Amino acid sequence: MTAGDVVVVTGFTAFQGFTENPSSDIVDLLEKKKIPAFDGKLVTAKMDVVYEEVEETVNKLWEKKPKLVVHLGVHGGDRHIKLENRSFGKGYTKYDVRGCVPKNNVCPGYSRRSSPTLYTSINCAAIAAQVSNEIKCEDLAITDSDDPGRYLCAYSYYLSLSHDKSRSLFIHVPEFDEVCTLEVVTEAIQKIILAILKTLN
C-alpha cells in the first residue's frame, strides 16, 4: 500500500423496503473514520437506486484509477456479511426507483463478446475466513456468496468487473440491530478492505 493508492467504496440510498440503507450509513462512517493503516486516498460515493445514475457514477469512479473498488449493498437476510464472487450481465428486469430498466435488460458492460457472468479474482472465501477470525462479534458471519441478485447491486458489480476483475468486489451487508451494529459492520468492512489490499501489493 502506498500513499498514492486510491480505494473507492460506494453505497446505495434508500429504496423500496429500506427507508434507511445500511450501506449508505457505512459509507458515511468510513468517510469519518477512514481505513486504519491505509495511507492512500479513500473515495466514497452514495448512489441512488437508478440504473442510469449507477452506470455514470461507476464509470467516473474508475477514471480515478483505483487500487480497489468495493460496492456495498443491503440484503434482507440474517446477520451475514456476504462477499460476492460474481455478477451477471443480463436479466435486469426489476424497475429502479424511477420506474426504469436498462435497455434490453442488460448491463452496458455486457456484449456478445463478453461473458454473461463475470467473476472477481479476489479470493472471497479466503478473505471471509481471515476476517471472521479477526472480528470480535461471534453473532456476525462473514462468508462468500454466488448470489448478488439481479438488481442495482449486481448491476454496479458487473460494471466494475468489466473494468477490472482483479480490483472489484461487491459486499452485501445486513440490516443493523442491537448486536450487528453500524460500528461492528463498518469495522468488518475496514478489515476486509485491508485484507484485500495486502493481496494486491
**Placement of cell 458487473 in the chain:** 158
pLDDT at 147 over 90: yes
Residues near 133 by beta carbon (within 8 Å), at least 6 away in sequence: none
| Res 22: pLDDT | 94
CB 126 within 8 A of CB 195: no
- b/e for 10-19, b at 16 or more Cβ within 10 A? bbbbebeebe
What are the start-end ranges of the E strands in the chain?
6-12, 41-47, 68-74, 80-84, 86-88, 117-119, 141-145, 168-173
pLDDT at 104 over 90: yes
Confidence of residue 187 (pLDDT cuts 50, 70, 90): very high
pLDDT at 197 over 90: yes
| Res 78: pLDDT | 87
Measure the CA–CA gap between 128 and 88, rounded to whole angstroms: 22
The 10s digit of each residue's pLDDT in 46-81 is 999 999 999 999 999 999 999 999 999 999 888 999
Instruction: State the sign of the Cα–Cα–Cα–Cα dihedral 191, 145, 49, 165.
Output: positive
pLDDT at 18 over 70: no
Across residues 17-39, what is the average pLDDT? 91
pLDDT at 200 over 70: yes
pTM: predicted TM-score of the whole model, two decimal places: 0.95
The 10s digit of each residue's pLDDT in 109-144 is 887 768 999 999 999 999 999 999 999 788 899 999
pLDDT at 153 over 80: yes
Rg (CA), the chain: 16
| Res 16: pLDDT | 73
Q: What percent of the chain has pLDDT over 90?
A: 84
| Res 138: pLDDT | 82
First vs last C-alpha separation in the chain: 6
pLDDT at 1 over 70: no
How far lies 138's CA from each of 79, 96, 101, 132, 141, in Å?
10, 35, 39, 9, 7
Q: What percent of the chain has pLDDT over 70?
A: 97
119: helix, coil or strand? strand
| Res 124: pLDDT | 99
